[in-house]
Amino acid sequence: MYAIIDVETTGGSPSVDRVIEIAVFVFDGEKITDSYSSLVNPKRPIDAYVTKLTGISDAMVKHSPTFEDVHHKILELTNEKIFVAHNVKFDFGMIRQEFKRLGIDYNRKQLDTVTLSQKVIPGFQSYSLGNICDSLGIEITDRHRATGDAEATVKLLKVILDKQVSQKYIEIELNHGIDVDLLPPYLSKAEIEKLPEDAGVFYYKDEVGKILYVDGSKNIRKKVITEFSKPADSPEQTRMFELMRNIDYELTGNELIAKLLSYKELKKHLPEFNKKPRIQAHTHGIFIDKDEQGFLQMKIHPLDWAEGELILKFPSKSVANKIMAKIINENNLHGWFALRSKMKENGLEEKGLNNYNAQIEKAIRKHLYRHSNFFIVAEGIHPDEHSVIWIENNTYKGFGYFNPELTAKTPENLKEVIKHDEDDLEVQKIIRAQMRKMKSTKIVPY
C-alpha cells in the first residue's frame, strides 16, 4: 500500500519553514482507498512568493488546524505504507521535521516518482510534475495545491506501476538505492545498509583489512551507493570489486573535514586503487613589503627569506612567477606601476601613495583568504559539538572538535583542541573550494 503525499510550505527550508497544506491519498496500486487534505496553520508568515505560487495566504490559514492538530491523522494514514511523493526528499523532510518538533521520530519507507519515472519511462526533457504529467497526458486540476499535485502523483505512480520493469526499480528505491545485482561479488547489502547518511571518510577493505580505496563525502552512504550504481568499467575497478569484503568509515561532522581527513589518509596509506597524490613541497613564495618611499612591492624569494610578509607559497620559482604575472595582468597593475614611477619622479602625495598601496593590497587579497589568521567553525560529529579548522599566516595548521558549552571560541582555547596536520597545495585547494560551498560556517579571525 502507498501513501501519496504532497505538502505546500511557507518556504523551502525544513529547519525554519512550516507546512501550510497537506494532502494524503492511500493507494493500493489500482485505486484510491482513503484520502485526507487540510490547510495547516504554520504559526509564522507565508513568504510572498509562496502565496503568489499557491494562492494560499496568511488569512486563509489563520483559523486552520496546526500540524499538531492533524498529526494523528497523518500517522494513521501513513502507518505501514510506503511514503510516495514527487521529489520525496522535500515532502518527507518537511513532514519529518514537523513531527520532530512534536518529539516524534517519524520514519517511513520512501519512493520518489521523479527518480522512478526517469528510470521507468526515460526520454523526457523534464521530469517536473507539471511537465511529466503534461507529456503523459495526465491532467492536474489544481497545480501547486496539495490535493491537485498529490492526485496527479497518484496517476503518475499508476503509469509507473503498469510498466513491467517498474518492480525492479521500486525494489532498488526501497533498498535505499542499492541494486544488489551491481554490488561487488563478496560485498553484502548489509555492508551498505550499515553506512550512515552523514559526512565522513569511508574505506574499502580486503579480507585482511588492507585499505583498497579511501574517499570523503558529505553523505557516506549516498556516495558509496552511487559508486555501485553501475558495473565496473575498467580492469582496475573489476579487480578492486573482487578484492572488497567490507567498508569501514569515520565520521567527521562536515564535508570540509571529510575531504581533509581523506586526503591525509590517502597520503598515509597510499591505497592501491586511489590516484596517487601529487605531493609538492613549497619552496618559494610571494612576499610583500614596502620600499624606502613606502610603496608596497611584491617579490619572489625562497621561503626562508627573512624580510617582508609571506603571502603565497609555491612548489617552485617558475610557478610563483606564473601566479605573479596572473595577479599583475588580471588587476591591470602595469598602469599602477607606471603611476608609481611618475609619483617618484614628480614627488610623493600621501593620497596617491595610499591609493597605490590599496590597489596592490586588493589585487593580492583576491588570491588569499579574507583573513590571514582565522578559525573555521562548523558542524561537529555530535549535536553538542563543533568542529574547528585553524589557518595561521594563510597556512593550514590542522583541525579538531570542541563542545561550545564548555569551550569559549577564543583563539587560545581553539588552538588547544587542534590536531596538527601538514599544509600543501592540495590542502589549500580543498579548503578554498569547500569554503565556497559551505554556508553554515563561522569564521573566527584573530
Catalytic residues: 144
- How far apart, in whole angstroms, are the C-alpha atoms of residue 113 and residue 47? 27
Site of grid cell 595582468: 329
H/E run at residue 392: strand 386-392
Indicate the residue type of 35.
S
Q: Quick one: which of 195, 26, 5, 198 has its CA closest to 90?
A: 5
CA distances from 202 to 51, 119, 237, 246, 255 (A): 44, 28, 17, 10, 12
Q: Quick one: which of 343, 372, 371, 368 has its CA closest to 355?
A: 343
Q: Quick one: which of 30, 28, 8, 32 has its CA closest to 19?
A: 8
Beta-carbon contacts of residue 208 (< 8 Å; ≥ 6 apart): none
Q: Let me know: does 213 contact 246? Beta carbons within 8 Å.
A: no
CA atoms within 13 A on the CB side of 38: 17
Length of the chain: 446
Q: Quick one: which of 198, 222, 254, 247 has its CA closest to 115?
A: 222
- How far apart, in whole angstroms, are the C-alpha atoms of residue 104 and residue 249? 29
Angle at 280 between CA 278 and CA 281, to 5 degrees: 155
Beta-carbon contacts of residue 21 (< 8 Å; ≥ 6 apart): 7, 8, 37, 38, 39, 40, 54, 56, 61, 145, 146
Q: Identify the three-state secondary structure at position 444.
A: strand
Indicate the residue type of 37.
S
